[in-house]
Structure 1
Amino acid sequence: MAGSYPPLPSVLFAFLWAYGVTGLFAAVQPQSPPWRPGTGTFTAAVTLTVTLLLMRAVDDIRDLAYDRAFHPKRPLAAGTVRMKDLLVLCAAGAVLVLALNAGSPTALAVLAAQLGYCGLFLTVDRLLGWPPGDRLFLSLLFSFPAQLLLHVYLYARYLHDTSSGPGREGVLAIVITVLVTVHMEFAKKITRRTRPGERSYVDALGLGGTVAVALIAPVLSVLLLMTQARPVALLTPLALLPLLLPARAGWRFWRTRTPRWPAASPAYYVLSTFACYLALSLTYG
Structure 2
Amino acid sequence: MTPLGVAGATAVFFRERFPAYYILYAVLWSSAATSAARELADFDVDAADAGRFAAQTVALLAALISLRLLDDLKDLPGDRAAHPQRPLPSGRATPAEFGAAAGFFAAAALALAYLSAGVVGAAALAVVLAYGIALWPLGRAIPHLERRPLLEMALTYPVQVLATVFLLASTYQRLEPGAATPQIIWVFVFFAGAFLQFEVARKSASAEGSAAGDYSDVLGVRGAAALSAAFSVLAVFGAIILAHPWDTAPVFNVAGWLLPLTLIIPFDSLWNYARGERDRPSTASSALFLVLLYLCVSLLVLIG
TM-score, normalized by length of structure 2? 0.82
- 2:57 aligns with 45
Contact kept? 2:206, 2:276, Cα under 8 Å = no
Runs of 4+ in 1 over 6 A off after TM superposition: none
Matches within 5 A, 1:107-118: 107-118=121-132
Percent identical across equivalent pairs?
24
Report the residue type matching 2:289 in the other structure: Y
Farther-moved stretch of structure 1 (148-157 vs 18-27): 18-27
- 1:33 aligns with 43
Number of positions where the alignment pairs a residue of Structure 1 with one of Structure 2: 280
Contact kept? 2:28, 2:294, Cα under 8 Å = yes
What is the CA deviation profile of residues 90-137 of structure 1, one whole-angstrom value per residue up to 9, with x for unaligned ones?
Answer: 2111111111122422221111111111122224446x4667322222
Contact kept? 1:15, 1:45, Cα under 8 Å = yes
Report the residue type matching 1:88 in the other structure: A
Partners of 1:131 and 1:170 in 2: how far apart? Answer: 36
Partners of 1:179 and 1:87 in 2: how far apart? Answer: 32
The gaps in structure 1 that reach 5 residues or longer are none
Q: 1:214 to 1:81 in 2, by over 3 A?
A: same
Farther-moved stretch of structure 1 (111-120 vs 193-202): 193-202
Partners of 1:15 and 1:24 in 2: how far apart? Answer: 14
Is structure 2 residue 102 aligned with structure 1 residue 90?
yes
Farther-moved stretch of structure 1 (141-150 vs 259-268): 259-268
1:162 to 175, 193, 197: 175
Is structure 2 residue 157 aligned with structure 1 residue 144?
yes
- 1:244 aligns with 264
User: Larger relative CO (CA 8 A, sep 6+): 1 or 2?
Assistant: 1
Is structure 2 residue 215 aligned with structure 1 residue 201?
yes
Partners of 1:67 and 1:196 in 2: how far apart? Answer: 19
Farther-moved stretch of structure 1 (116-125 vs 69-78): 69-78
Q: 1:195 to 1:259 in 2, by over 3 A?
A: closer
Q: 1:15 to 1:66 in 2, by over 3 A?
A: same
Contact kept? 1:14, 1:48, Cα under 8 Å = yes
The gaps in structure 2 that reach 5 residues or longer are 1-13
Contact kept? 1:98, 1:111, Cα under 8 Å = yes
What is the CA deviation profile of residues 52-94 of structure 1, one whole-angstrom value per residue up to 9, with x for unaligned ones?
Answer: 1122222222333444455443322333222222211121111
Is structure 2 residue 271 aligned with structure 1 residue 258?
no
Give RMSD over aligned pairs.
Answer: 2.5
Q: Which has the larger radius of gyration?
A: 2
